[in-house]
Homo-oligomer: A and B are copies of this chain.
Amino acid sequence: MSVTIYDIAREAGVSIATVSRVFNNSSSVSDKAKGKVLEIADRLGYHPQAMAQGLARKKSKLISAIVPVISNYFFMEVLEGIQNRLTELDYDLNFYNIKSTESIYNQVEYTLKRGMAEGYLIISVHFSEKEWSNLKKYDVPIVLIDEYSSDFDSVSVDSIEGAYNATQYFIQNGYNKISMISAVPNSKPSRDRILGYRRALEDAGQIVEESLIVTGNCLDRDGFTERNGYEAMQKILALDPMPDSIFCNSDIQAIGALKAMQDAGVQLPILGFDDIEFSEFFGLSTMRQPMREMGNMAVEKLLERINNREKGITHTVFSPELIIRTTSEPVNVVV
């Protein structure tokens, strides 16, 4: 059996309270007692048990992250930011991958109810305002990442602004038949990016042609895949007349689009969204989302919320940053 506070108290000839104290270095303990306890604890390989501490303290030092699917560059990088900040703060991270076979809402609710963590980070899951406010009743600290609800703190990127600026970049460079590769319509980021694209065109006095907004047939992961981008680009290439440039929903789709262009022997300027690790390598121009920073910031907010349940709800919105590399240039260098 594992060694407990009792074992080491007995051996050291002190009370369990004293043992507990040396491991919490809370109130003062005589050097003598401390030394003895530490020595014995080390010899016996003792370590406080997280669950018991959690119960007694009524806090688990545990944060849960809930993501739709782990193997996606965006989540991965956000998660890395989260995890790094959390270890610095001596918190553990546990995470839940939403299963696509069951109701997302139920899964999130279930996780929240279990009450294992002190707080929750919910990434890229989209609910109606009604659903979000339903979740409020669990009265547990939550911060949303890449999503918005007036009921919870959130950190996200301004997709509309990003799409607007990306589109404007093309406009300012003289393009006037700008196509957009989008994703599934019920994806919030995708909708916002379409919105930004539209506004930029309208503000420039260009008309918005619905036929220029396309997505691929493969709708896995809401369409955020190379395959989707490849298919979307094939559709674009079949357009007559062809667009003169492409703003793409996500880098991963842009990479697929680049391949489609290459296979077709065509080169159109293209700009992505995200700036995943691959992008720099491929020379992909893009709107960068500061993913790790978002993860960090979300942790910060969550901890503040945990320490002060009453503070006002805040929403942090990062402005994405336009990164011009080669693919957005007139004669781009495809991979």
Contacts and interface: CB of A to CB of B under 8 A. Distances in A.
Contacts of A278: 226, 278
Contact of A115 (B47, B92, B97, B259): B47
A324 interface: no
Interface string A49-75: 111101100001010000001110100
A219 to B, nearest CB: 16
A83 interface: yes
Nearest to A282: B259
Name the residue among A51, A62, A79, A94 with the largest chain B CB count within 10 angstroms. A51
Main secondary structure of the interface of A (DSSP, over half): helix
A113 B47 contact: yes
A317 to B, nearest CB: 24
A262 B335 contact: yes
Contacts of A281: 226-227, 230, 256, 259
A99 B84 CA distance: 8
A60 B51 contact: yes
A69 to B, nearest CB: 8
A314 to B, nearest CB: 25
Contacts of A95: 83, 93-95
Contact of A97 (B51, B52, B87, B277): B87
Contact of A114 (B50, B71, B84, B138): B50
Bin the interface of chain A by size.
35 or more
B49 A115 contact: yes
Interface string A91-103: 0111111010000
Interface string A27-64: 00000000000000000010111111011000010100
Determine how many copies of this chain the complex contains.
Answer: 2
A116 B51 contact: yes
Contacts of A52: 55
Contacts of A79: 70-71
A183 B79 CA distance: 26
B97 A94 contact: no
Nearest to A140: B2
Interface string A135-147: 0011100000000
A331 to B, nearest CB: 15
3 A-B pairs closest in CB distance: A94-B94, A50-B116, A47-B113
Interface of A: 2, 45, 47-52, 54-55, 60, 62, 69-71, 73, 76-77, 79-80, 83-84, 87, 92-97, 99, 113-116, 137-139, 226-227, 230, 256, 258-259, 262, 277-278, 281-282, 335
30 contacts: A2-B139, A45-B137, A47-B113, A47-B115, A48-B114, A49-B114, A50-B114, A50-B116, A51-B51, A51-B60, A51-B116, A52-B55, A62-B94, A69-B80, A70-B76, A71-B77, A71-B79, A71-B277, A76-B76, A83-B95, A84-B97, A87-B96, A93-B95, A94-B94, A227-B281, A256-B281, A258-B335, A259-B335, A262-B335, A335-B335
